Amino acid sequence: MNVPIVENAAGNAAGNTAGHAAGNAAGSTAGHAARNGAAARNPAAGARTVLELAGVHKSFGETEIIRGVDLALIEGERHAIIGPNGAGKSTLFHLISGQLQPTRGTITLDGRQIQGLEPRVINRMGLARSFQITNIFPGHSVFENLRFGILRRYGLQYNFWRRVARVRRITEETEQLLEELRLLKSRDVLAGELSYSEQRSLEIGMALASDPRVVLLDEPMAGMSREETDYTVGLIRQLTARRTLMIVEHDMDVVFSLSDRVSVLVYGQIIATGTPDEIRANRQVQEAYLGTEVSV
């Protein structure tokens, strides 16, 4: 492993890189487990908590928007956050990814508190969020966009470019990501000229370019047709196969088919967390949310 890491704020970038260089997310997971040992395990459930929110509050001025959220994401699960408009779902994502700081409470990623850290640092620690931390450059090709995302992971430093082998490695990784995103055909198309759903795919890809273990997607299917939604759900399923996913989605068919667990956020508080069946059957959820806005 001779890829230089210029930034190692989280102290774990080397592990990340090793995982990625192995060419699959399983390598990443192995490195990840080795780094964290048993400390973060939850022996009761036999499952490891990868992201944990405890007593998280967020106020804007006088108004409390997030009112004491406790939430634990289990490694490898797909976890949907549902709730009415204005409930605070996007705010919660902003708090986790570092765009906003909680007024109080803790957010822990792999046993380290991350609340108040910069988005860039949290991203380096293995958490990526589409739409907010990613920038698509419309005047550059799909390939160039993704390559930039991958380069950002390695760190942009001059020395890096001196080694031809490294440039080749970046190109190979970019091609691999293109294939995973099913965007090979659009490799040289300017990002700004992609179809709507292809742009969304590219945005998800830009988040994945950092090889995150935890991925946050905020309404990735918004504005899509039925066909585009089905396509994108398939893509998300495939791309998050070995990652932990937290997704905000309004389409209940998508939520219940994609998620292992669902949490319901109403007026800044989580009123229920459970499997899709448990959430469907939960009377409080039906009254507060499902019964009023959607039929299930």
Ligand X SMILES: Nc1ncnc2c1ncn2[C@@H]1O[C@H](COP(=O)(O)OP(=O)(O)O)[C@@H](O)[C@H]1O
Binding site for Mg ion (CB under 5 A): 89-90
Query: Which one of 27, 31, 88, 102 is in contact with ligand X (CB under 6 A)?
Result: 88
Q: x-or-dash pattern for ligand X, window 41-60, by CB under 6 A?
A: -------------------x
| Shortest distance, position 182 Cβ to Mg ion, whole Å | 27
Nearer to ligand X, 78 or 89 (CB): 89
Nearer to Mg ion, 78 or 89 (CB): 89
Radius of gyration over every alpha carbon of the chain, rounded to an integer in angstroms: 19
292 binds, among ligand X, Mg ion, none (CB under 5 to 8 A by kind): none
161 binds, among ligand X, Mg ion, none (CB under 5 to 8 A by kind): none
Query: Which one of 12, 16, 28, 90 is in contact with ligand X (CB under 6 A)?
Result: 90
CA–CA separation, 253 vs 250, rounded Å? Answer: 9
Q: What is the residue type of 236? A: I
Q: Give the residue among 11, 240, 235, 269 at the shortest CA–CA distance from 128.
A: 240
60 binds, among Mg ion, ligand X, none (CB under 5 to 8 A by kind): ligand X
Nearer to ligand X, 89 or 147 (CB): 89
| Shortest distance, position 230 Cβ to Mg ion, whole Å | 22
Give the residue ranges of DSSP H helices in 141-225. 142-154, 158-162, 164-180, 196-208
Could you give the C-alpha distances from 45 to 48, 75, 130, in angstroms and in order? Answer: 8, 12, 30
Nearer to ligand X, 33 or 290 (CB): 290
CB 259 within 8 A of CB 276: yes
What DSSP designation does 118 have? -
CB 129 within 8 A of CB 139: no
CB 56 within 8 A of CB 67: no
CA–CA separation, 99 vs 93, rounded Å? Answer: 8
Residue 91 as a binder of ligand X (CB under 6 A): the answer is yes
CA–CA separation, 33 vs 41, rounded Å? Answer: 10
Residue 86 as a binder of ligand X (CB under 6 A): the answer is yes
Nearer to ligand X, 66 or 191 (CB): 66
Query: Which one of 1, 43, 85, 139 is in contact with ligand X (CB under 6 A)?
Result: 85
Residue 65 as a binder of ligand X (CB under 6 A): the answer is yes
| Locus of tokens 């905000």 | 248
Q: Which stretch binds ligand X (CB under 6 A): 36-44, 80-88, 104-112, 163-171?
A: 80-88
Residue 292 as a binder of ligand X (CB under 6 A): the answer is no
Nearer to ligand X, 151 or 288 (CB): 288
> Got the DSSP string for 215-226?
EEEESTTTT--H
| Shortest distance, position 176 Cβ to Mg ion, whole Å | 32
| Residues contacting ligand X: total by CB under 6 A | 10
Residue 89 as a binder of ligand X (CB under 6 A): the answer is yes
218: left (phi over 0), alpha (psi -120 to 50) or beta: beta
Nearer to ligand X, 84 or 111 (CB): 84
CB 143 within 8 A of CB 191: no
Nearer to Mg ion, 151 or 215 (CB): 215
Which spans of this chain sit near ligand X (rule: CB under 6 A)?
60, 65, 83, 85-91
